[in-house]
Amino acid sequence: MAATRLPGTPRLLRALNDRAALDLLLSRGPLTRAQLGELTGLSKVTASQLVERLEERGLVRRVGEQAGGRGPNAQLYAVTPGSAHVIGVDVGPDSVLAACADITGTVTGRSELSTKDTDDPVGVVHQAVVQAASDAGTDITSVRRVVLGTPGLVDPQSGEISFAWDLPRWHRGLLADLRRDLSTPVVFGNDVNLAAVAESSTGAAAGVSDFALVWIGRGVGLASVIGGRLHQGATGAAGEIGYLPVGGAEVPHNASRRGVKGAFQTLAAAEAVKAIGRQHGFRGAEAADVVRAAVDAGEAGEPVLDELARRLALGVAATCLVLDPPLVVLAGEVGRAGGAALAGRVEREVAAITLVSPKVVVTGVAAEPVLHGALRTALDAVRDEVFGSTTD
């Protein structure tokens, strides 16, 4: 058995070295051959051969020179941005937001379209994707993957949307339609799960292998990351805590019907937040406006934050008693608006009513977390695909 593996060893080592070099160029910026050799532990000869191989494949390019001591200046190399593109899409009930990034992760094109007056989800996604690619100065043929973030359940086995409570025109069969229409790999992702991907990459959970993200906006949702991996459950329903039965709210017995709101959602989502605000004299067009006003009001706004924290703690406590994560991130429009004032209150409430006391913090992703999570998911897959082909 061992003898059959030996012929592949040099090829495997080249592939590993190439990937290590490409990852260094992505994370450290332009480097010389000597620097790549030093950082990877390769000899000068091997590092030079590696760079030549990657340059021939169009994966790296010369971007300048670095002055040294005696002798000619050393060439600087960087990953070729246009070697592949990805597109992330954030699909909401009123609009579709798409962004195109090159393989370095730099966002180079965007588009946003309304979905209010259309019965054609394939058409509106197609238009948003094509416009984002065009804005990036490329076309759909260079796009290696499209990841769409959507509310609702995404079946882990088929990748299809199986239920989306506020996207009535999204249905089974849509994934195949989009793949045919765009002629490129298309993947659906739950919006809150993608927000957790962004949080893990650049937000408050960066470097944390176990955490829960609680999303408070139009609805409430949960993403759980265990051992560095998203937990989706057997049907993709893991994290649908809007349907969590809680005291103080009516529990529906027809939850799978479209338009039916779960018990925890009626207690802690946007409409409930606005109702809490009205009880204490705070009003706003959006729930986040109400929470921001309460935070800015200081002592006068504390009753709003206290009541909201008590309600949120019911869902957070139930989650933490099952998963026991060291960290909980509050995200979504309401979570972000509440900031540290709301997060601190939720942390204290959870510790008071359970045997666990996770750290509760506000999201560290400044804006568009679903879109950024979609782009990160697409980039991870495409980098594996493109960078993994260096020895073909």
Q: What is the 3-class SS of 24-68, one letter each residue?
A: HHHHHCCECHHHHHHHHCCCHHHHHHHHHHHHHCCCEEEEEEECC
Say how far apart CA 265 and CA 370 lie, in whole Å.
Answer: 20
User: 11-15, 126-130, 244-248, 386-390 — which is least confidently predicted?
Assistant: 386-390
Q: Residue 3: is its pLDDT beyond 80?
A: no
Query: Which of these, 160, 263, 215, 247, lies nearest to 255 by C-alpha position?
Result: 263
SS3 label, residue 331? strand
Please report where in the chains the tokens 């450290």 appear, as a residue: 28
Q: Which two tokens stand for residue 227?
A: 């051992």
pLDDT digits over 159-191, tens only? 988 777 667 677 778 899 999 999 999 999 999
Say how far apart CA 117 and CA 114 lie, in whole Å.
Answer: 7
Confidence of residue 93 (pLDDT cuts 50, 70, 90): confident
Query: Which of these, 56, 66, 53, 44, lies nearest to 19 by C-alpha position?
Result: 53
Q: Residue 72's pLDDT is what?
A: 81
29 sits in the region (left: phi over 0; alpha: psi -120 to 50; else beta) called left
Q: Which two tokens stand for residue 278?
A: 């009205």
Q: Residue 115's pLDDT is what?
A: 83
Q: Residue 12's pLDDT is what?
A: 80
**Cα separations (Å) of 115 from 96, 97, 110, 123, 127?**
7, 10, 16, 10, 11
Dihedral angle sign, alpha carbons of residues 267, 339, 313, 217: positive
Contact 169, 124 (CB under 8 A): no
Confidence of residue 122 (pLDDT cuts 50, 70, 90): confident
Say how far apart CA 200 and CA 231 lie, in whole Å.
Answer: 14
170 sits in the region (left: phi over 0; alpha: psi -120 to 50; else beta) called beta
135 CB burial (10 A radius; 0-12, 13-18, 19+): middle
Say how far apart CA 361 and CA 364 lie, in whole Å.
Answer: 9
| pTM, to two decimals | 0.91
CA contacts within 13 A on the Cβ side of 332: 28
pLDDT digits over 41-89, tens only? 999 899 999 999 999 999 999 999 888 667 688 899 999 999 999 999 9
> Would you give the distance in Å from CA 43 to the centre of its chain?
38
pLDDT digits over 229-281, tens only? 999 999 999 999 999 998 877 877 766 666 678 889 999 999 999 999 999 99
Say how far apart CA 88 and CA 373 lie, in whole Å.
Answer: 8
Q: What is the mean pLDDT of the chain?
A: 91
Please report where in the chains the tokens 């949960």 appear, as a residue: 222
Q: Residue 198: is its pLDDT beyond 50?
A: yes
Extract the runs of DSSP E, i.e. beta strands, from the chain. 60-66, 74-79, 85-91, 95-102, 107-114, 143-150, 153-154, 161-163, 186-190, 211-216, 220-226, 229-230, 327-331, 359-362
C-beta neighbour count of 160 within 10 angstroms: 17
